[in-house]
Amino acid sequence: MADAIRTDSLTKSFADFEAVIDVSLRVEANEIYGFLGPNGAGKTTTIMMLLGLERPTRGVAYLLDSPSHAREFAVRRRLGVLGERQVFFDDMTAREYLRFFGRLYSVDRIEHRIDALLERVNLTHAADARARDFSRGMQQKLGLVRALLHDPELLILDEPVSALDPRGVVEVRELLHSELGRGKTVLISSHVLTEVEQLADRIGIMNKGRLMVEDTLDNIRQALQPEARIQIELAEPDRFPTAALLDLDFVSRTELRDGRLSVHLMGVASPAARADVSRAISQHGGVIVNMHAEQMTLEQAFVTITDEDVERLAA
């Protein structure tokens, strides 16, 4: 699959320190990529280089197969960007603000496009109100609409849900999944790790200027925590032959304690693994009352990676 974003040994040095060091990342076309890191890790500088707003000291970044420093309008038109801070013009209403950018990009059927996107993020009621008077959450949603207005192929979103209430988060999540279904690629930089965990296909984690890991969350979990566990409540636990589950090649051991069955897995408790365990229990006469997986969250993985040398991930 082609890469929507690719960097090769991207480095940015300032007078007294290196902000980004030999970063080689790739964002595949038609995926959501979570770009994470603590404050000062180099995420913002990397994004600035991706957008052509900072020139790398060495290395190169490509957006949609074009060097980012070229800043060709034909490429820029295929790109939608949401910055962490939104800037709104004077007394423009939300509709006027969007109309301005729509005309800049020669958007067809601009009013229809504006109405459709405002409805998707529940801002129709505020279309004719001054954008600068919006709450931070409303401004964030309006900024996302502006980034999507010209129907770009690639979205780069910096903190797209940080100011949103739970309903707003769901609206944005559904919108991004819808855009992914239409073939778009999304890079999200965010501190809201629970949301990235739900959205991202792959994750890159920066720390101290370096890209520490880039992989699926399941693969990151397996590298950091080789064993996961499924906790199961059975209708008649004492009558179930727990050893039967050892026939599954990814089950390392089972424990029955206080009426609860613990199934230890070599690897992650993926949906497929959980389905196989559930099927095996049913085949041996067991009735599941409740079942849940215990495995490393993205937040736990993030803390581990940014607190340790994580030599395990470099193997």
Label residue 311 by pLDDT band (50, 70, 90): very low
Kindly tell me if the per-residue pLDDT of 49 is higher than 90.
Answer: yes
Cα angle vertex 258, ends 254, 259, to 5°?
70
Mean pLDDT over 191-207 rounds to: 94
Report how far residue 98's alpha carbon sits from residue 112's, in angstroms, rounded to the nearest whole number: 12
Global confidence as pTM: 0.86
In whole angstroms, give the CA distance from residue 238 to residue 241: 8
Mean pLDDT of all residues belonging to the chain: 91
Average pLDDT over residues 11-40: 95
C-alpha angle with apex 149: 143 to 151, nearest 5 degrees?
130
The arithmetic mean of pLDDT across residues 176-188, rounded, is 94
Strands 58-63 and 66-67: antiparallel
CATH number of the domain at 3-220, please? 3.40.50.300
DSSP letter for 75, please. Answer: H
List, as one string, the DSSP characters of the chain. Answer: --EEEEEEEEEEE-SS-EEEEEE--EEETT-EEEEE--TTSSHHHHHHHHTTSS--SEEEEEETTEEGGG--HHHHTTEEEE-SS----TT-BHHHHHHHHHHHTT-TTHHHHHHHHHHHTT-GGGTTSBGGGS-HHHHHHHHHHHHHTT--SEEEEESSSTT--HHHHHHHHHHHHHHHHTT-EEEEE-S-HHHHHHH-SEEEEEETTEEEEEE-HHHHHHHH-SEEEEEEEESSGGGS-GGGGGGSTTEEEEEEETTEEEEEEES---HHHHHHHHHHHHHTT--EEEEEEE---HHHHHHHHHHS--GGGG-
Residue with tokens 């080689």: 24
- Could you tell me the fold of the domain covering 226-295? Alpha-Beta Plaits (3.30.70)
Tokens of 18: 């290196």
Condensed to tens digits (0 to 9), the pLDDT of residues 149-175 reads 999 999 999 999 988 999 999 999 999
Domain limits, the chain = 3-220, 226-295
Q: How confident is the model at residue 315, as a pLDDT?
A: 40
- pLDDT band at 259; cut points 50, 70, 90: confident
| Strands across the sheet containing 260-266 | 251-257, 260-266, 227-234, 288-294
What pLDDT does residue 312 have? 43
Taking alpha carbons only, the member of 6, 12, 2, 1 closest to residue 214 is 6
Higher pLDDT, 75 or 248: 248
* pLDDT score for 308: 58
- Judge whether residue 199 has pLDDT over 90: yes
Q: Residue range 269-274: average pLDDT?
A: 88
